[in-house]
Structure 1
Amino acid sequence: MESMSTPRHRWIVFGAMTGVYFSFGIAVTAIAPMLTAVRDDLGVSRGAMGFALGAWALIYIVTAPLAGRFIDRIGLGWSLALGGLSVSGSLVLRAAAQGLGSLWLAIAFFGVFGPLVSASAPKLMATWFPDENERRRGVGWYSVAPAIGGTITLAVTNPVLLEWFDSWRQVLVFEATIGAVATAVWIVVWNRVERPTTTRVEPAAAGSANRSFRYLLGSSEIRLILFVAFALFFLSHGTSNWMPTILEEFSGMSPSTAGAWLAVGGLVSIVAGATIPAYATPERMHLLMAGLFGAAVLVMAGLLITPTSLHGPIAVIGGVRGALVPLAIVTLLAADRVSVANTGIANGLWFSIAEIGGVSGPLVTGALADTDASYEAALLTIAVIASLGGLVALRSHRHRIST
């Protein structure tokens, strides 16, 4: 283990990191509220668009473990700055896309350095917040930053941004500017604060990346956590990318109405993500995750069997899934073989497995939507994966209380 002093500038650094993560959420959600306009302009099918939307997650599978190692070796400062720049770069490249191939490459670019953002955040919590109560609260708070970015994007893109700029391409350039400003703030803050001091006394978990991966995967608790990560991102990416279009084409809403309902759901996601992780004690955290997966299953079922007039409120309830990612990070940081020494690699491994689900979710949803079974099959598939995630979370709970 490692002994740490409590850095006095930790919340300032936390705020700057959260700003970059906010722009990360914008990049993830940017195309979703403009999906129909982008498809019409580029002339691609739903299935092809699902393939493009999952491009960054596909690259994540390879780059996330490397990003974790990069962060452990190079440090948070340059790592998060590079990740933030990739957010802006990807948005600019998407704005310049002329077809499916160039759009896929633009979104894939986000997956090259984007893991430096998502893996830097837990690393910062592990190194700058030695108090576990502060750490749990902080994980919940920073995890809502991308949700806030995504919610604002959903809420303002159709009624405001497209009215201002009159082009989905110009909207993406504007959003890229937000990412660039957030990254600049991070660089300034990082170069002006006092860094934490640590005394490393547990080298067993560190070492080469391969050795660390084997060490982590030797834990049955971590293997269960990784399966939950797959199910979580299948659910999250599948719904976040396609829910606006599902509400438009399956439920019969206008783009503005769908965006408004999803914005309210985003507020629910923000509140859930900011509050629920604070209650994630070792005895409760896996049970909380199982309950949230169960809620997601009920939401998918509700969209399938209830009148379309109820689909807006049901989509709002689905916002509770916003607590799943911070809960998952809390469970990972509390796992038996994760320490400050290997937090970067552990989070890289977690995001690598999670993004297999992140690729599958949008791709499967789009492909099924193009079949005769349409969105019914897509929603049913998401419900099945969420059910499996909940069952494995319950298994993880039994494993923890038995050890």
Structure 2
Amino acid sequence: MNASHHRWRVLLGLIGVYSAFGMAVTALAPMLTLVQEDIGASRGSMGLALGAWAFIFIFTAPLAGRFIDRFGIGWAVSLGGCSVAGSLLARANATSVSSMWLAVALFGVFGPLISASAPTFVARWFPDEAERRRAVGLYVIAPAVGGVAIVATTNSFLLPWFDDSWRTVLIAESGLAAALTIVWAATYATATKPSIPRPKAAPEGGHLRELLESSGVRLALGLAFTVFFVNHALGSWTVTVVEDLGGFSPSVAANWTALAGLVGIGISAVIPNFANPRRVVGLLIAAFILLARGLCITALGSPPLIVIGTIVSAARSALVPLTILILMEADRVTPSNAGLANGIWFAVGEVGGVSGPWVMGLIADSSAGFTGGLLVVAGLAFATAIGTRLATVSR
């Protein structure tokens, strides 16, 4: 059986580990109140801890791209899965803000190997453009599926099952991440690999300079900060925002957030199929505008409108796949340098990723509260929509 028959099976194995990645990103969100009380953390300091892995990503993501290009996707995803499992286990043993920061930061050491491997895998194993868009639509929902599963089950099932012990919940999630990593390793090891050209020799920094000559790459890098700022800020705090502004119980707030997450999964799976090179920028601008409107509704509305605004804000789920498509279809990005391109993109993006949860927490601790935080994110999204339109008109 040739590589073309194996690629969908290997993609499913990758999706499993990427789902565990999403679990690690979201694991603390449904239990923030419990965790804050247990380790004595304010919203601002907790936001700093939540963004620790993104801070490490800034430095490790470019190296992840080079690691993938040199050692291959099999080793990269396996090490990334081990980082997920280890981080979840370390969080379960955290006793202070500093130890929680270190535990979350552990995820950032090899975690970039997963997020950078996914688009690299698709670029190398799916040469057909239509199939590539479908594959992107599948893998980009993986972290969302993992995150939604955690949000939906933590307060309603996992915490009651484990006697309200957030530490035991994290240990169980660590075991699941380890199991998914083993499945990936076995699947990849038995698959027939496609032939991948070696990157051509170039002076140090030559490949990066070549990539930056592409207007598509520059656009994707310019968008990265806002895309990650928005997704990390909202991914970390939405359950608490809905609980605080809407006056809902933690379980009800988690359920509404999970519903919005399911809507986001549908958006992520469907939108890339329509995002041909002529439409992708327009779809991206529309997603930013819809997100900004949803956040304003959530920030200023009554409890029913808060739910509606949260669901409308699921438009943010389109931001990552659309921006990745812009990057992957840029004229200077090839299968041989896709790992480097995605590593640089994630490194730039995680500057926003580390800032988002922290800024949201700081604003929430102030008199502006979560209302002010949501309006700041909405303003950034709207400004980025305008900036993207102006940038593409001038291209």
Report TM bin, short chain: over 0.9
User: In structure 2, what is the equivalent of residue 212 of structure 1?
Assistant: 207
Q: 1:21 aligned to 2:26?
A: no
1:223 shift after superposition: 2.0
Q: Does 1:177 align with 2:175?
A: yes
Shift of the alpha carbon at 1:305? Answer: 2.3
Q: 1:208 to 1:300 in 2, by over 3 A?
A: farther
For residue 4 of structure 2, give the secondary structure of its aligned residue in structure 1. Answer: coil
Within 5 Å, which residues of 2 pair with 1:152-231? 152-166=149-163, 167-199=165-197, 203=200, 207=202, 210-231=205-226
1:353 aligns with 2:351: no
Cα pair distance change 1:207/1:252, threshold 3 Å: farther
Q: Which amino acid aligns with 1:227?
A: G
Distance in 1 (CA, whole Å) between partners of 2:94 and 2:183 is: 28
**Equivalent of 1:53, from 50, 53, 70?**
50
Q: Secondary structure at the match of 1:338?
A: coil
Offset, 1:221: 3.1
The residue identity in structure 2 corresponding to 1:159 is S
Bigger drift between 83-92 and 304-313 goes to 304-313
**Change over 3 Å in CA distance of 1:386–1:208 after alignment to 2:** farther
Q: Distance in 1 between matches of 2:286 and 2:65?
A: 30
How far residue 377 of structure 1 moved from its aligned partner, in angstroms, is 1.8
SS of 2:288's equivalent in the other structure is helix
Q: What's the CA shift string for 1:330-380, capped at 9, x where partnerless?
A: 110011211111100000000001111101110100001111111122111
- Alignment map for 1:277-292 (pairs within 5 Å): 277-292=272-287
Query: Residue 311 of structure 2 aligns with which residue?
Result: 316
Q: Which of the numbers 267, 274, 278 marks the counterpart of 1:272?
A: 267
Contact 1:215 1:337 in 2 (8 A): yes
Task: Quote how far apart the aligned CAs of 1:13 are.
Answer: 0.6
Whole-angstrom CA distance in 1 between matches of 2:354 and 2:204: 24
| 8 A Cα contact 1:52 1:100, kept in partner | yes
C-alpha deviations, 1:2-55, integer Å up to 9, x for none? xxx963211011010010001100110000000000000001100000000000
Query: How far is the alpha carbon of 1:208 from its aligned partner?
Result: 5.7
What root-mean-square deviation, in Å, do the aligned CA atoms of Structure 1 and Structure 2 show?
A: 1.5
Moved more, 382-391 or 342-351: 382-391
CA distance in 2, matches of 1:109, 1:304: 33
Per-residue deviation at 1:207? 3.8
* SS in structure 2 at match of 1:177: helix
Instruction: Extract structure 1 runs of 4+ deviating beyond 6 A.
Output: none
**Helix, strand or coil at the partner of 2:191:** coil
Q: Which residue of 1 aligns with 2:132?
A: 135
How far did 1:389 drift? 2.2
The number of residue pairs the alignment matches comes to 393
2:361 to 338, 341, 366: 366
Give me the whole-angstrom Cα distance separating, in 2, the residues matched to 1:209 and 1:358. 28
**Structure 1's 163 and 395: CA in aligned 2 closer, same or farther, altered over 3 A?**
same
Unaligned runs of 5+ residues in structure 2 are none
Contact 1:32 1:242 in 2 (8 A): yes
Contact in 2 for aligned 1:21/1:145 (Cα 8 Å): yes
Aligned equivalents of 2:150, 2:221: Cα separation in 1: 29
CA distance in 2, matches of 1:33, 1:159: 10
2:21–2:84 CA contact under 8 A, matched in 1: yes
SS in 2 for 1:341: coil
Percent sequence identity over matched residues? 47
Range 238-247 or range 207-216, more displaced:
207-216
Structure 2 residue matching 1:195: 3-state secondary structure: coil
Equivalent residue, structure 2, for 1:81: 78
Change (3 A) 1:106 1:209: farther
Distance 1:210 1:267, change over 3 A: same
TM-score by structure 1 length? Answer: 0.95
Inter-partner Cα distance in structure 1 for 2:373 and 2:178: 36
1:100 paired with 2:124, answer no
